[in-house]
Every structure is written in structure tokens, then in C-alpha cells.
Amino acid sequence: MDNIKLIIFDLDGTLIDSLDDLTDATNHMLVSLGRKPVGRDQVRGYVGQGARRLAEKAMPNAVPEEIEVGLSTFLAYNEEHIVDKTRLYPGAGETLEALRDRGITLTVVSNKNVALCRKVLSTLGAEDFFAVVVGADSLPQRKPSPEPLLLVLRQFGVAPEQAVMVGDSINDIAAGKAASMVTVGCGWGYGDPSEIRDADYRINALPELLDLPVFREAADPGAPGREDSYDSHESPFRKNPVE
């Protein structure tokens, strides 16, 4: 297997913990429309498919006109308060720096609108790590479609087997699989653990990326290949068996 040359990260629930700000924006939307606020755990189940889908899930009986008003209200509040409580996950900065130092191209593909992605990354001091950021409004398709991922691969001339998709939800893993990329599921994010069970690897903290076999190859070009270097009895990382 060739060394990994490019990583595509999901954003919310993978690199950043934005759930409190998303909860505040959701409740601002609901209360402004005369609805009852909801809890953080409920909002956790709404995120992952873009702001419109969040509004639809939060207001399941709303008419289309109410969804449009709610969506505009949510987006305006969220942009104004995008990093009131949002933070990078522990070890994110150090992990991104270490991967960049290994010569790996780092990118983001999110189902959040691209301007909001860039604003939060810039405010948190992380934008310079990424060669490109693709958002929900960057092209017609969004995850779980592989198209945003394939767009990034084409842009950098990288083959799917030389790239990794890292994310916390079924949308991330499904998109990565459909693009024929290596997939890494993040156990700390917003998705249910079952959503990442089909990932090639599963990790519980971002720094664990650095010790996965595929990334050890980037650090040491003379290291053995992915299958040869992985020992399920010695490694803390779980690789799903091929069925």
C-alpha cells in the first residue's frame, strides 16, 4: 500500500466540539417561533446533515414556510455566536501539526456551510492547517455522497487508496467507503457508536491517529504495510474484520 498523502476531516464532532453553540442556536430558533426549547442530547441527534435538516428535525410538524423562517433564524444566530462555547477537541492542534509535519495534506469536508466552517476554524486558530475546506454549499451533493471527497482527491491528484476520511458519523464513514478511502471513526463525536462500526479503524482521541498503521507508514516510509504492521492483540485500535 502507498503511503497516505491526504486526510479529509469532518468538522463538527470530529475536530471541534460545537454542540453547546448548536444547542443555543437551535433553542433560539425554537423559542422565536413559539416552540419549547430542547436539550443538548436532543440536538445531538439533529446534527450531521446540515442546517436545513437540523431545522426539520427540530420542528417535525412545521410547514415549509416555518422551516424557512427557522432556518434563517438559526443560521443568523449561529454565525453571530459560532464560537461562544465551541472549542477544538483535546489534542487536535498537536495532532494536526504532527500530521502536517509528516508531509500529509490536511483538508476538511463538512455538511456545515463553508463560510461558517472557515469562520470557526479561523477564530480557533486552526484554518492554516488545511489546504482546502469544502462545505455543504460548495457543490450540490453533500455527505454521505462521496462527491465532496472525490472533488478533494481530484483537486490534489491523490488516489483514493492514498487518502483517509476521519469522522464521527455514518455520513462520514459511508462517504469514505463510497470513495474507496480508508476510514477512521471517532468515538467522541455526536453520532451513536453504531454509526462508525463499519470504519476501518476506530479511535477514542485525536492523537491516536498518529499511531494507526496507515500513519506510521507516513512517519517511517520503511515501515511494513498496513496489514503486516497491524496486530489486533497489541494495538489499542480496533480494525473491523473483512466480511
| Model pLDDT, residue 44 | 94
| Model pLDDT, residue 222 | 52
**Amino acid at the residue 160:** P
pLDDT averaged per 10 residues, the chain (length 243)? 88 98 98 97 92 96 97 96 97 98 97 95 97 96 97 98 97 98 97 94 97 75 41 36 33
Can you tell me the distance from the alpha carbon of 31 to that of 137, in angstroms, rounded to the nearest whole number? 27
Residues taking part in catalysis = 10
Can you tell me the distance from the alpha carbon of 72 to that of 75, in angstroms, rounded to the nearest whole number? 5
| Domains observed in the chain | 6-17+87-239 (3.40.50.1000), 19-80 (1.10.150)
